[in-house]
Amino acid sequence: QVRGPGLGVVGVSKGAEVALAMATFLPQVVATVWINGTAFLHGNPLVYKELRIPPIPYFTERVLFTEVGAMDNSAIFADPRDPAYRASAIPVEKVRGKVLFVVGEADRSFNSKLFAELALARMPPESGRILSYPGAGHLIEPPGSPLCSYSSIRGTPRPLAWGGELQPHARAQEHSWQEILQFLELHLGSVATMKL
C-alpha cells in the first residue's frame, strides 16, 4: 500500500546495490533496507540522466568451488578500497533518507560487511546503521524462510554458494525482520496513523 509522500525500498544482493543507488539519486526514497549488497557498481554501469558510473569488472577467473561443486563468488570482486575503483563507488554522501544495512557475516557471495562499512563511512552522520549477524549467509529473508545455502540461478553453469549456518541464520532472519519493520514504520509512518 502506498501512503506517501516518502517511499521505502528493500533490496537483497544486486537489488541492494540498486536500492542504495535509488536512495542516493531519488529524493522521494526516504527509507532503504540494504541486505547483503555492495556499495560499488559491479558488472554493469549505472546510467542516470547525464551521470554514468563505471562498474568494477567481475574477475570470473577467481571463482572458487565448494566441496559440493557449487560456485563461491566471494573472490570475484576486486578490493573496492583500491584507488583504481574510486569512480565505481555509489556516491552515498548524497543520501538524504535513512539506510539500514543488514549483513550476514557468513555470506559466501561477497564481503557485504565491508561494503556496508565503506558506505556508512561516506554517508551523512546519523543516516545509516549496520545490523551484522555472525553465521548468517547471503539470502537473509523473512522469518520461517528456509536457509538457502546453495541455489541455481539463470546464467550460471553451476549452483551458487550463499553461505550461512542453520541456527545463526534463522536467528538473524527473526531479529532482522523485526528491525526492518520498526525501521520502515519509523521512517514511513505507522499504518495506524494513515488516513483511509
| Closest by CA position to 9, among listed 169, 27, 41, 131 | 27
The cell numbers describing 171, all together, are: 536467528
Q: Is 138 a catalytic residue?
A: yes
Q: Are 129 and 119 in contact (CB under 8 A)?
A: no
Question: Given 74, 88, 138, 176, which residue is catalytic?
Answer: 138
- Of 42, 74, 107, 112, which is the active-site residue? 107
Judge whether 13 counts as a catalytic residue.
yes
Contact assessment for residue 79 and residue 115, using Cβ atoms and an 8 Å cutoff: no
- DSSP result, the chain: ----SSEEEEEETHHHHHHHHHHHH-TTEEEEEEES--SB-BSS-EEETTEEEPPBPP-GGG-EE-TTS-EEGGGSS--TTSGGGGGGB--GGG--SEEEEEEETTBSS--HHHHHHHHHHHSPTTSEEEEEETT--S---STTPPP-SEE--TT-SSPEE-B--HHHHHHHHHHHHHHHHHHHHHHH--GGG---
Report the catalytic residues.
13, 107, 138
